[in-house]
Amino acid sequence: MPELPEVEAARRAVEEHCLNKKITKAIIANDNKVIDGGVSPSNFEAAIVGKTILAAHRKGKNLWLQLDSPPFPSFQFGMTGAVYIKGVAVTQYKRSAVKDSDEWPSKFSKFFVQFHDGLELSFTDKRRFAKVRLLKDPASVAPISELGPDALFEPMTLDQFTKSLHKKKTAIKALLLDQVVTLDFVRFLKSYISGIGNWVADEVLYQARIHPLQTASSLSKESCVALHKSINEVVQYSVEVDADSSRFPLEWLFHFRWGKKAGEVLEKAIEVGADSNQFPRMSESSNELLCLAGKKIDFITAGGRTSAYVPELQKLSGGQVAEATTKPKRTSKRKTVEGDDDESESGAEEANESGKPKKMSNPRGRGKKPATKKKTNRSDDDNDDGNSDSGSQDEVEKKPRKVTRSSSTGLSIAKAKAKAKAKAKAKAKAK
């Protein structure tokens, strides 16, 4: 789902192209699963037409537009929310993307405005887990008011970060995913970071060489320093390149975390924009990837999310080592169909961002419920098992997969590219 880098890219695009422009037309979808707060489309439209955009704000994974007078439109991106500006390239999260060849505004548009100079902006949501609200002061009400400090705009000092971690007896991955304000019973502080989602959390933990299930309070001073550094560097760099994954460093885990089988790893890396021609290899016969030093990638559940990590580099430490070796591994027996993961994960997303877990209900309004059995390209979000607990040390560990391939598989990078291209063509033809 869109995380801080993708939402910040959208905010910057709005700031660059839409400020001081007057809204002359608005179309709000009749979809009260996405259009939240009980406001009708006509009332929403009447409230913003004639107004001018003065600023675009973001906190965590939420964006809102400041008009010349309230109320203001606010966007919680959910799983597939995306901002489009006609004629302007805006980086999209892979699964959010609407093709340029599609109708405009897209059939997935939930919020559409036209400005006095003819420029047009649309907020789309394919899976209908986003929220569009009309609020007098978005920053003062949930979910934005309940978010911890923003990972980009409000970075903690190293001392604050270390002290905060050492108070938490939660698995570090779950803690990083926790977007909400929790109460320090002495000082009532906002206790954690907003804007970090699944891929960013996996990336910063990999770069800091920390196991996703390591308890935060048990982290050494050196690990705290490394994690603080990696959070700042990954967030700042991904924002600097407008969340364009093809510009991410080749040694990032990001490029290799999207599939659980070796062939899928290459295909997914290509799909998310990595330049596969630059992937270093041991040899043509083995295709062993060197960007992760030939190490295998394992997948476990941490913080209710499927988590990629490199066990040879990210090891449990302290008492958790003995605990991990003595506890029997449990495997998940829950079998899901396509789409089921999405719904349960969105519930976890809403709980993380608002602090109020919501029971999923049937969609209302004219929008259609996403098909549950339609085959889709898988990503880290598809792989999630829907478990949304807080990330205890009893998290379910899954069977490890290797990032490298045996010679019997024989799928070269060229073949992976061809397969990914063929899959994209077949998908386009089906539409």
Residues acting as catalytic residues? 2-3, 61
- Which residue's structure tokens are 């290509």? 270
Cite the DSSP H helix spans in 209-291.
Answer: 221-240, 262-271
72, amino acid identity: F
Q: CA separation (Å) from 8 to 111, 162, 312, 313?
A: 18, 26, 33, 31
Minimal CA–CA distance to 28: which of 10, 13, 47? 47
CB 304 within 8 A of CB 386: yes
CB 401 within 8 A of CB 298: yes
Q: DSSP for 138-186?
A: GGGSTTGGGB--BTTTSPPPHHHHHHHHTT--SBHHHHHH--B----TT
| Contacts (Cβ under 8 Å, ≥6 apart) of 22 | 50, 51, 52, 115, 116
Instruction: List the beta bridge partners of residue 397.
Output: 300
| Contacts (Cβ under 8 Å, ≥6 apart) of 139 | 57, 59, 64, 145
d(CA 330, CA 320): 17
CB 319 within 8 A of CB 327: no
d(CA 58, CA 252): 26
Minimal CA–CA distance to 310: which of 400, 384, 248, 220? 400
The alpha carbon of residue 349 and the mean position of all alpha carbons in its chain are separated, in whole angstroms, by: 10
Q: DSSP for 347-386?
A: HHHHHHHHSS--------SSSPPPPSS------TTTT---
CB 405 within 8 A of CB 259: no
Instruction: State whether residue 88 is helix, strand or coil.
Output: strand
